[in-house]
Amino acid sequence: MKYGEKSKTGPEFDRWRVTHPECGTADVVALSDENAILNACREWGVSWGVYACECTVMRLGKAEKARCIRCGRVAETAGQGMCNQCRSIAAAERRQALNRVRQEPERRQWA
């Protein structure tokens, strides 16, 4: 079974809130707490192997299907009403924007 596909009964997704002292908080949809941490680290763009042990996970409840506000796909959504995939993309875009802002003053300084 490929990622995103469901069997008739379907896996039961839960919503999780993952918190890391440096990375902050991410609301994700996952099958288990381990998966939730993996998803959160992907969103933060950090190495799971390094950050997982410092993460705390809280189960928020059953994930409900909703239409993703970004891609329009009906999927389990968490945080910002987006599916896992779109949240990762949005988070990567946020990080890129942040990096640009951080790099701007340095570039000016050395120009």
Which residues lie near Zn ion (CB under 5 A)?
Answer: 68, 70-71, 83, 86
What CA–CA distance (Å, rounded) separates 77 from 80?
Answer: 8
Q: Which is nearer to Zn ion, 52 or 89 (CB)?
A: 89
Q: Are 41 and 47 in contact (CB under 8 A)?
A: yes
Q: How many helices (H) and strands (E) does the chain have?
A: 3, 5
Q: Are 27 and 90 in contact (CB under 8 A)?
A: no
The minimum distance between CB 111 and Zn ion, in angstroms, equals: 39
Q: Which is nearer to Zn ion, 58 or 71 (CB)?
A: 71
Q: Which is nearer to Zn ion, 29 or 83 (CB)?
A: 83
The minimum distance between CB 61 and Zn ion, in angstroms, equals: 20
